[in-house]
A and B are shown apart, each in its own frame.
Chain A
Amino acid sequence: MKVINIDQKKWTKGIDTLGSSYKLIGPVAEKDFHTFEILQQGQLPDMSFTNTRLSPKEVVFPQSEDMFVYSLDQNDEDCNILKEAPKDYSPRVVLGIRPCDARAMRLVKLNFDTEQYKDPYWLRLYEATTFVGLACDQPCATCFCTSTGCGPYHEEGLDILLAKDGDGFKAKVLTDKGRQLAEASGWTDTADDGGAFENARRAAEAGITSKVATDRLRQMDTLELYGADFWEDVSFACINCGTCTYLCPTCWCFDIQDEVHGKKGKRMRNWDSCMFPIFTVHTTGHNPRGTKLHRVRQRFMHKLKYFVDKYDQGIMCVGCGRCVQQCPVNIDIRRVCDLMNSYGSENACAAQG
């Protein structure tokens, strides 16, 4: 297979060159973790990271995003008129996004880009972004991407896939966007790799040992799953914080708020979480998801059943393992997925562990 060889020198030079035509976003080391941040001139992404604590979904779906601005000043000729908030949609590149997080963007796109509805904010940022992925050669114990239609070398949603090669990288260009970026960065040194890339992919996939079964979810009766007897046990520990949903690369829910300061106002959207009681509370005060059992069930049913039925693209989870690692009370989606997938079968007891 033809791959592009990028040695350390070319990598550094390429990043430097890209800085003039793209806004660069990449993993940066903080105290005990990595985070995706805008890179400053001359700053290199730290490609030695395992995975970031928060997913990079914020690149195209900021936690707080202004949509409109308005003036309440009667002397202002634009008084009471909603105007689009000024935004930067210039070309940007995410360097080092993991294949799971890139696939997550595609799953989210199913929701934000439909025949009927197109989310302009998400789509414009998505289209302005070039995704340069970094293959995972050393997955975590909580990684189960190969069970979710993804994998450590998965290409979906990426424009370029990089794999580590000594001090540098081997790169596979996957789209036109990727080709443009490769040319702009001077990463053009193509050679036959003698199958090394493929071998590394197979080795990495074999390294993912955590698995979940999802094969029965689609055929399962929705109401039977909804009424399953395990939800009380699954939801008991939950404290209904937003950790799982905020860390999740595939969670897309938001809330729209108006904020006024003096005579100036803005309409913004903020991440929201189905774990919060007020997510569903009606103006009457009635809450159709009034208990944590309702809310926990909703999250898992959405990811592992409703989404599966609606889009037929597998589960709404890419196996990144962040929620497993960070849940304060150790609710593990892999266990819940196995409980759901085996519900009503002879294996139900086995999944209980």
Chain B
Amino acid sequence: MIAYTDKVRQIARRLLEDCSVEMVIGFRKGSQPMMNEPCFIKKAEDADQLVWDGNCGINLANYLTGRKEKIAVFAKGCDSRNIVTHIVENKVQRDRLVIIGVPCTGMIDKRLVASQTEGEIEAVSETGDKVVVKLKDGGSTEFDRRQVLQGNCALCVHRNPVIYDELVADLVEEQTDVDHWADIREIEAMDVEKRRRFFEDLLAPCIRCYACRNACPLCYCPTCFVDESRPQWLGKGQDQIDVHTFHFLRAFHCAGRCTDCGACQRACPVGINMRLLTKKLEKDCFELYQWEAGMALDQRPALDTYKPDDPEGFIK
């Protein structure tokens, strides 16, 4: 995907030069290995700041709301599905957006690379199917790109954007041989007590920084329920029940809307895989309503519609 960079710059430059948009939202090279920084450019001559590689995991749909400009945005498969969700939920207007689709082959999991590497990482580069890690002590390690993808990317079946005005490259082949729900089935199979302990361990490191919520394009409530004071729904300390309530309720709020873009897990400074919560609801929506979020503009979300023959086996 590193080869996309030239095309990304070319498209951004053209759109700004011919005044198709007022700003372009993309990524610039980060100061840290395996990190890029979401950025905007408003001048064609700044287009060369933009980059594209396996470190563009932050979901850019999160940067589109509440803006007045006409915007061009680079969108991976998941980003594009969140843009569709934004449009369906009236958060952005389709005619104020130029969507530049980025067929994606998955984003690199920086924690996974770091945990499989001995010593401090100085730089990480990509060449085709390889990820090359250069160490501070001069050594280097090489990974097969597929072995170090973010968990959600490894199981992604919508790598190509579902909505776009133009593409930076030809569409990529979608993965068909993945078992998308294996981790969720494992949790479903636990008895109640085991599952409770599992969630306790999962969420124990949480420091309530809300990086997961804030990195999520779905979490755009003007005041999140955790921040409400009249009434105050939950305590602000490190009480386990408060921490759990935050995570569980947030996940429920994303039911039928989550695209498993992985921004929450990627953003978490303490490495919690809170995707396990949203994925369960993603699975339920798929199994009960054959619903996948953000696939088309003309479909109402699963929890936004009613049909007399909706399954109701879960209501007891």
> Which A residues fall within an 8 A CB radius of B?
31-32, 50, 53-54, 63-64, 140-142, 233, 236-237, 239-243, 246-247, 255, 257, 259, 268, 270, 273, 276-278, 324-326, 328-332, 334-335
User: Given A243-B269, A246-B209, do A278 and B227 touch, yes or no (CB 8 Å)?
Assistant: yes
Please state if A32 and B115 are interface contacts (CB–CB under 8 Å): yes
**Is B267 an interface residue when CB atoms closer than 8 A count as contact?**
yes
Distance A334 CA – B213 CA, assembled complex (angstroms):
26
Contacts of A329 in B (CB 8 A): 37-38, 58, 267
Say how far B112's CB is from chain A's closest CB, in angstroms. 10
Q: Are A239 and B227 in contact (CB under 8 A)?
A: no
Residues of A within 8 A of B111 (CB): 32
Given contacts A236-B40, A328-B269, contact A241 B238 (CB under 8 A): no
A233 CA to B37 CA, complexed, in Å = 11
Contact A141 to B136, CB < 8 A, known contacts A236-B38, A241-B214, A330-B32: yes
* A8 shortest CB reach to chain B, Å: 24
Whether A64 pairs with B238 at a CB distance below 8 angstroms is yes
In the assembled complex, B210 has its CB within 8 A of some CB on chain A: yes
Q: A63-B238, A64-B237, A268-B237 are in contact. Are A328 and B211 (CB under 8 A)?
A: yes
Distance (Å) between the CB of A273 and the closest chain B CB?
Answer: 7
In whole Å, how far is B117's beta carbon from the nearest beta carbon of chain A?
11
Is A326 in contact with B269, judged by CB distance below 8 angstroms?
yes
A333 to chain B, nearest CB (A): 10
Contact indicator A330/B35 (Cβ below 8 Å): yes
Min CB–CB distance A269 → chain B (angstroms):
9
The residue from A140, A236, A257 contacting B237, defined by CB atoms under 8 A apart: A257
> When A64-B238, A259-B235, A328-B267 are in contact, do A243 and B209 touch as well, CB less than 8 Å?
yes
> Counting CB contacts under 8 A, is B270 at the interface?
yes
- Contact yes or no, B37 A241, CB < 8 A: no
The reply to whether the CB of B6 lies closer than 8 angstroms to some CB of chain A is no
**A240 to B215 Cα, complex, angstroms:** 9
**A259-B237 contact given A32-B271, A53-B270, A278-B227, CB 8 Å threshold:** yes
Q: Which residues of A contact B31 (CB under 8 A)?
A: 324, 330, 332, 334-335
Q: Closest approach, in angstroms, between the C-beta of B67 and any C-beta of chain A?
A: 11
CB <8 Å contact, B120 and A242: no
Q: Complex formed: what's the CA distance from A141 to B223 in Å? A: 38
**B3 interfacial by beta-carbon distance below 8 Å:** no
The answer to whether the Cβ of B278 comes within 8 Å of any Cβ in the partner chain is no
A277 touching B227, Cβ below 8 Å: yes
Taken together as a complex, chains A and B put the C-alpha atoms of A81 and B215 apart, in Å, by 43
Q: Does B266 contact A (CB under 8 A)?
A: yes
- Residue of B36, B111, B208, B269 most packed against chain A (CB within 10 A): B269
Question: Does A237 lie within 8 Å of B37, measured CB to CB?
Answer: yes
A53 touching B30 in the complex, CB below 8 Å, given contacts A277-B227, A278-B227: no
Q: Are A140 and B120 in contact (CB under 8 A)?
A: yes
User: How many angstroms from the CA of A270 to the CA of B236 in the assembled complex?
Assistant: 7
Which residues of B lie under 8 Å from residue A278 when comparing CB positions? 223, 227, 229
Whether A255 and B269, one on each chain, are in contact in the complex, defined by CB atoms closer than 8 angstroms, is no
Complex-state Cα separation, A277 to B235, whole angstroms: 17
Query: Nearest residue in A to B212 (C-beta to C-beta)?
Result: A241
Known: A326-B269, A328-B269. 10 other contacts (CB 8 A): A233-B40, A239-B215, A241-B209, A242-B210, A257-B236, A270-B236, A328-B215, A328-B268, A332-B31, A334-B31
Chain A residue with the shortest CB-CB distance to B226:
A278
Q: How far is the CB of A88 from chain B (nearest CB, A)?
A: 17
> In the complex, A246 Cα to B227 Cα: how many Å?
17
Q: How far apart are B2's CB and chain A's nearest CB, in angstroms?
A: 18
In the complex, 27 of the A-B residue pairs with CB atoms within 8 angstroms, ordered by the A residue number, are: A32-B111, A32-B115, A50-B120, A54-B207, A63-B237, A64-B237, A141-B122, A142-B32, A233-B40, A239-B62, A241-B211, A241-B215, A242-B209, A242-B211, A246-B209, A257-B235, A257-B237, A259-B235, A259-B237, A270-B237, A276-B210, A277-B227, A278-B223, A278-B227, A278-B229, A326-B269, A330-B31
What distance in Å separates the Cβ of A211 from its nearest Cβ neighbour in chain B? 13
Closest chain A residue, CB of each to CB of B219: A239
Given A141-B120, A141-B122, A240-B214, check contact A233 B227 (CB 8 Å).
Answer: no
Q: How far, in Å, is A317 (CB) from chain B's closest CB?
A: 16
Kindly list chain A residues whose C-beta atoms are within 8 Å of the C-beta of B122: 141
The residue of chain A having its C-beta at the shortest distance from the C-beta of B31 within the complex is A332
B172 at the interface (CB under 8 A from A): no
A contact residues around B269 at 8 Å (CB): 53, 243, 246-247, 326, 328
List the A side residues contacting B62 at CB < 8 Å: 239
B87 neighbours in A (Cβ, 8 Å): none
Contact (Cβ within 8 A) B37 A255:
no
Could you tell me the distance between the alpha carbons of A277 and B213 in the complex, rounded to whole angstroms?
A: 13
Report chain A residues within 8 Å CB of B136. 141
